[in-house]
Structure 1
């Protein structure tokens, strides 16, 4: 599945670079009386000096914001990060138990793979002894290339091993025939997070990052034995700058219609006359499995053909060697790990301390055999009653959404009927898969860390490639159960909630319903809403890209979303950096609509009864505070800049305040009036679902 089609709830930036986990966050919620349900609100973090009517995010989380430091090994810290950190010891216990069993010759094949992979990462002495040796053969192979005609095969090999290259591809459902898998080719190739880092010369912070990037490339190439490292680094950055120049922007990538370009496999090579597509397709393994492919950005590939022709072979070889070193660096000796972290951890993310080795080992093992770990995690940490209560919440949200569609004042009757049809076809997945991934074809060796990483990457590559020509696997999950996240997949028309997100502050089984509807209810509503946001609404209930809206619906929807774009574009987390309202539109729609529908579901759950007052807070107040404390977070400046440039999610404070300003119930719950800073005139409030 193409990454830009997957709408995940949380902030996923910097994964694998510095993690998003750290120190303690939330104390146990207080109870009204013995045996009574808790409010679920961290009342100890409420800042009474800031009015809820002026800054709801700071009012709810102010004392936490004042007293909490971002841990040295984190780029950000908050509710998501806290929960991720909380499960690390649980995952470590599962993995280290498997490692001990593997060393003792006990346990099944899954335990052996988990244990041996983790042991290979933790064997720091062997990794130090090997130095750069694990990639010597690959670097020599690249150095031996004598003709550009060998590039297609090299790029295909990089795709197979997950190494950055100017082009890549993914297997996912055909957007216009969701009964088939298709190979989709897309732009790639940059070592920095976004094209703006190369092209925005008037931005001093981005320009500084680019200069430091060139220094970093030279340093890493020197470690790998390149005698011309400085010259090659300069040429590599110049080449990547040209790649950036021809790439589509993040906003352009959000348009699934423009990205759907179908080519007969025999004619796709016409996009790049100077590049042997037949050789490339044969080396990828796609050749012979399909009769057509999708090319997401045709203009990029046309321009890439000219760029490859104009660029010297020496530069292209240096570029390939750099990205081979970059990809391998976290699994090589300490000098590579530290140098890699200096740039990607500190310069780009502001982190001053790398994560402990065991945490990096846990992350790497999860990336390799995540579902095997998840199977044990679910058995030990996800009680059946959690899933049952979550199923009830999801059903209540779906009922509320169904009712909401019928009351829309901007959607025509015919389109409402189509919307109801799509909603009825939603699939909900909660906790864990019905069937677990079979890793029996993955070879893991206790003394071969980089080899294990490469084989795990190739295992996943082959798993995806083998989908071509086969029926759609509707049991597949795109996240492991231990992932603190959630997502909507438009091609499957499904909402998915992994087990680990079903914990406080998102879901508290000991709390009154109000906070759970505001927190996990808002999350559920968010994911349902993705089926009807500016991207998801372009897919029908069967997952096909089809326009099922009337012209009037499009006009009305565009007017509402245009207001939302303007609202968020005015928010400035840092001087000189505003939220990109167009890039974040889908997620902002998800927040706006999801919370509104969650509020309706909460009201339905009360069945006409009045909610109790707990911790001095009404049910409605706890509902909205539940949403606000989910987005409790702090972020280092370089990481925040990276998020603004690359992430379709708005920063946490605007996911709280920006959403709240459009909710009629919020105005009633906290008596917000004209003159208050949270106030928006009724005509400026965006109410979609």
Structure 2
């Protein structure tokens, strides 16, 4: 998955958590993508040897002269496109606000305008949330507590594609194709309940984490004081202690990414025996899951540990925790003081961002979360014509063909494994631009002027939409992303890919550029997503998306040894002197980077008759390919966000992803990389997987 600042902020957008003073929306003339064609020569630093620092060679001047905008925690190619797409989407939403009442377009406009109406939100105070808070206050026993947990369960996580595995509900729900039976959907239950991104934020003894913990306790207390709680500090301490106990029950990030450890089918009756302490009958009934005979428990230790905490911790502590979670969760649609306080912690303390985004941007993000595919319809109608889709589909076809040839030529893979790999490649379902069919939002009620109620109803609509999948055939064409998202994803359980329209534009993909540049940038991304079907996680799924080993023992051993070598390579990189990368945690993405870049290079060469492409801008075809790849990873991050990424993210930092080219033989003659230079790898040390 190609990481962008949009996805890095996913948890904040899910909880509607940002706030800023209104700013003027973009002028109409700013909505055009005016990125110049070709490589960005001015952004390079040719005083740096590519073999010493390839990322700086391709991007050094840009890095030295570019400031991260005050309302961003990072900036780069993806962020620039996200800003452009947000501005375009805002204009489309404004137009939708003028549509006929009762139409889908008008729902979009009404949702946006309600979120934008700070004056109305301010005048209402906490009143819209009072029914929820009163319900929590009225809980009399642990059975009622279990029912409240179930009532608030949401389908807000994706176990295989989330940047984080935490949700601010006690557990998270993922409704997806069953790992063991490809013909049905399964409910997956995941660990949750934390207000910070990962267990390490609670348990690490580093001085930086200790400071963050102190800031988080202060944040909880501030939220409670804003809500009128007289014993805010004492409640905050109890809530923090409870979350720390939850964190101790959580599985570490590495275990979360191991799908073999996650495949734990539990019958409905197993929960009382395996995870005592929570009234599971009350929980599942309130969650609408009482009829589900079986679940897949992704984090069994966490489910058992959190259920035990429900029994052992005082009821009043849990009630204070639940009330805090509700207020914190909906801060973006509560009075400004709440939104500002949430941003101060999640935006500034955790990510280093000094300034909130303008209100209109947050309104666009919230509207996208609530009515994403409805907005997506408007976006692709204006910005992704059929001819653009056809060109990208052709590129995808070329890359799949190149990947097929690579599989055929592998000298270490047995014929039986190759046959299964070919079958998987042949059945891969690729979505380009937008889904084949759209979500129907007819049952979602949007009320003008009711920002918080709209947010609640949108979450419940999505939850019910997911529950409605049970009993129906698995839809491999359902998308996990909206067309207006600058990103891409592989869905290994369905053996499917999504390439949203917003990422399929300049500078990633530009019809004016030679094939070498397009395949070095967008082609490498497409190849990356294709190859996720064959990375350390994707390789565990067969062509139907079933969790099944289709490798011979010798082939699997060779593949795993190559993966260990790649993890070791990335372990040597340091974001800061005290902060090494985590090669095992990032392995899936790094395998996909290498495989995708190789496939893209093959496709570029095939497109040029097996030869190097023509020179342009003073660079050979091979140089264009590799420089375009490195420039596609152009980004700067604030230190706080870098440290958060290394702890929680399955992706390496962008500069090190650009350096994956050092594992390709063709990179060395193209960039004249010599022994003794920092990135030089002897041929025997270059990791070769696909």
* CA distance in 1 between partners of 2:547 and 2:348 (Å): 41
1:686 aligned to 2:687? yes
Give the conservation status (yes or no) of the 8 Å contact 2:108–2:375.
yes
Match of 2:542 among 535, 540, 543: 540
- Report SS of the residue matched to 1:519: helix
1:8 offset after TM fit, Å?
Answer: 5.3
Match of 1:112 in 2: 106
Distance 1:642 1:18, change over 3 A: farther
Equivalent residue runs for 1:66-81 within 5 Å: 66-81=64-79
1:406 aligned to 2:408? yes
* CA distance in 1 between partners of 2:498 and 2:127 (Å): 42
Unaligned runs of 5+ in 1: 1-6, 31-37
Q: What's the CA shift string for 1:472-506, capped at 9, x where partnerless?
A: 12331111111111111111101111111111121
TM-score by length of 2: 0.94
Match of 2:46 among 42, 45, 48: 48
Distance 1:29 1:374, change over 3 A: closer
* CA distance in 2 between partners of 1:575 and 1:616 (Å): 37
Q: What's the CA shift string for 1:253-299, capped at 9, x where partnerless?
A: 111121111122233322223221111111111112x3211111222
Match of 2:396 in 1: 394
1:503 aligned to 2:505? yes
Match of 2:470 in 1: 468
Q: What's the CA shift string for 1:74-116, capped at 9, x where partnerless?
A: 00000100100111221111001111x14xxx36611110111
TM-score by length of 1: 0.94
- Report SS of the residue matched to 2:642: helix
Give the conservation status (yes or no) of the 8 Å contact 2:18–2:332.
no
- Larger deviation: 298-307 or 432-441? 298-307
Equivalent residue runs for 1:467-486 within 5 Å: 467-486=469-488
Match of 1:217 in 2: 220
Give the conservation status (yes or no) of the 8 Å contact 1:27–1:42.
no
Equivalent residue runs for 1:201-600 within 5 Å: 201=205, 203-288=206-291, 290-600=292-602
Distance 1:609 1:650, change over 3 A: closer
Q: What's the CA shift string for 1:180-237, capped at 9, x where partnerless?
A: 0011111101000110010001x11111001100000000011111111101111111
Q: What's the CA shift string for 1:529-558, capped at 9, x where partnerless?
A: 100000000000000000111111121111
Match of 1:137 in 2: 131
Give the conservation status (yes or no) of the 8 Å contact 1:572–1:578.
yes
* CA distance in 1 between partners of 2:2 and 2:245 (Å): 30
Match of 2:61 among 60, 63, 73: 63
* CA distance in 2 between partners of 1:225 and 1:633 (Å): 42
* CA distance in 2 between partners of 1:611 and 1:29 (Å): 23
* CA distance in 2 between partners of 1:575 and 1:487 (Å): 32
- Report SS of the residue matched to 2:498: strand
Match of 1:635 among 634, 637, 640: 637
Give the conservation status (yes or no) of the 8 Å contact 1:98–1:107.
no
1:302 offset after TM fit, Å?
Answer: 2.0
Match of 2:617 in 1: 615
Give the conservation status (yes or no) of the 8 Å contact 1:427–1:493.
yes
- Report SS of the residue matched to 1:634: strand
Unaligned runs of 5+ in 2: 20-24, 157-166
- Report SS of the residue matched to 2:153: helix
Q: What's the CA shift string for 1:335-384, capped at 9, x where partnerless?
A: 11111111111101111110011101111111111111111111111122
RMSD of equivalent CA atoms: 1.8
Match of 2:176 in 1: 172
1:18 offset after TM fit, Å?
Answer: 6.3
Match of 1:148 in 2: 142
* CA distance in 1 between partners of 2:273 and 2:603 (Å): 53
* CA distance in 2 between partners of 1:456 and 1:161 (Å): 12
- Larger deviation: 472-481 or 445-454? 472-481
* CA distance in 1 between partners of 2:253 and 2:516 (Å): 37
* CA distance in 2 between partners of 1:406 and 1:683 (Å): 22
- Report SS of the residue matched to 1:153: helix
* CA distance in 1 between partners of 2:247 and 2:35 (Å): 49
1:385 offset after TM fit, Å?
Answer: 1.6
- Larger deviation: 392-401 or 403-412? 403-412
Match of 1:660 in 2: 661
- Report SS of the residue matched to 1:505: coil
1:72 offset after TM fit, Å?
Answer: 0.3
Give the conservation status (yes or no) of the 8 Å contact 2:155–2:174.
no
1:673 offset after TM fit, Å?
Answer: 1.3
* CA distance in 1 between partners of 2:51 and 2:143 (Å): 65
* CA distance in 2 between partners of 1:449 and 1:171 (Å): 27
- Larger deviation: 263-272 or 419-428? 263-272
* CA distance in 1 between partners of 2:594 and 2:512 (Å): 27
Give the conservation status (yes or no) of the 8 Å contact 1:426–1:493.
yes
1:9 offset after TM fit, Å?
Answer: 4.9
Give the conservation status (yes or no) of the 8 Å contact 1:153–1:279.
yes
Q: What's the CA shift string for 1:39-95, capped at 9, x where partnerless?
A: x21111111221112111001111100110000000000010010011122111100
- Report SS of the residue matched to 2:209: helix
Match of 2:122 in 1: 128
1:250 offset after TM fit, Å?
Answer: 0.8
Give the conservation status (yes or no) of the 8 Å contact 1:9–1:523.
no
Give the conservation status (yes or no) of the 8 Å contact 2:590–2:657.
yes
Query: Structure 1 segments of 4 or more deviating over 3 A?
Result: 7-11, 26-30, 160-163
* CA distance in 1 between partners of 2:610 and 2:550 (Å): 36
* CA distance in 1 between partners of 2:484 and 2:304 (Å): 41
1:28 offset after TM fit, Å?
Answer: 6.4
Match of 1:96 among 94, 97, 100: 94
* CA distance in 1 between partners of 2:289 and 2:314 (Å): 28
* CA distance in 2 between partners of 1:633 and 1:334 (Å): 31
Distance 1:662 1:161, change over 3 A: closer
Match of 1:191 in 2: 195
- Report SS of the residue matched to 1:573: strand
Match of 1:14 in 2: 9
1:436 offset after TM fit, Å?
Answer: 1.3
Give the conservation status (yes or no) of the 8 Å contact 2:497–2:530.
yes
1:523 offset after TM fit, Å?
Answer: 0.5
- Larger deviation: 296-305 or 388-397? 296-305
Match of 1:601 in 2: 603
Match of 1:671 in 2: 672
